Structure 1
Amino acid sequence: MNPQCARCGKVVYPTEKVNCLDKYWHKGCFHCEVCKMALNMNNYKGYEKKPYCNAHYPKQSFTTVADTPENLRLKQQSELQSQVKYKRDFEESKGRGFSIVTDTPELQRLKRTQEQISNVCDYILQ
């Protein structure tokens, strides 16, 4: 007995049969679900047992990961480790209100300029 076409439901005879996506199709019925472009075994893409052309193949989007008990535990552990590292970095840097900078020629020039300005201000105020 001849199978039925997956699209139109009519009998598919061997001369016009396309066997694809675990179904049988007439050659004319094997087309893209969206644009109806005729497809063949070389240019189709199957999604949920339906044929699509390359342009209309459904894009698979990723879903968010469910909050399983294991994922919640890992998230909590990661946050705790982050807080521990932050606190350790803070404790190490505590008490260091300033950092030592070597005198570069630019810093020396700025110091001399500030001293000159300070001296001029002192002279004017006297």
Structure 2
Amino acid sequence: MNPPCARCGKIVYPTEKISCLEKNWHKGCFHCEVCKMTLNMKNYKGYEKKPYCSAHYPKTSFTIVTDTPENLRLKQQSELQSQVKYKRDFEESKGRGFSIVSDTPELQRLRKTQEHISNV
């Protein structure tokens, strides 16, 4: 027995049958849901068991943000660039005093550079 077409409901004979998206279609009935462009097995895109052309294929948008390594890196980077963290650290360090580190490699390099410039 020949199956009905998913679009028009008429009988689909083997010579004009396209079996796709778990349904049977006439060649002429297998077209984009939006623009009605006739599709074939090479250029269709299925979404919710309906055929679409590439231009009208529904865009899927993600609603859940997962903790992927990239998202964790971006979160950490945005926290580093945020002034909130610096303000919090500043408020915590108020009144504690501070310590001076006089011989860091960076300071030594700066001193040598300044001495070299002043000698020139």
Q: TM-score range by the shorter chain?
A: 0.5 to 0.7
Shift of 1:97: 7.7
Shift of 1:103: 5.2
**Equivalenced residues, count:** 88
Q: Distance in 2 between matches of 1:43 and 1:103?
A: 68
Q: Distance in 2 between matches of 1:9 and 1:34?
A: 19
Paired position in structure 2 for 1:33: 33
What is the 5 A alignment of 1:63-74?
63-65=63-65
Deviation by residue 1:71-121 (Cα, 9 ceiling, x = unmatched): xxxx9xxx9xx99xx97xx8xxx4128756415455x39xxxxxxxxxxxx
Percent of aligned positions that are identical: 62
Unaligned segments of structure 1, at least 5 residues: 67-74, 110-126
- SS at 2:41 equivalent: coil
1:48 partner letter:
E
Q: Which of 76, 79, 99 is the equivalent residue of 1:95?
A: 99
Unaligned segments of structure 2, at least 5 residues: 67-71
- SS at 1:61 equivalent: coil
In our comparison, the structure showing a higher alpha carbon Rg is: 1
Large movers: runs of 4+ above 3 Å: 97-101, 103-106
* RMSD of aligned residue pairs (Cα, Å): 3.3
2:38 partner letter:
A
Shift of 1:22: 0.5
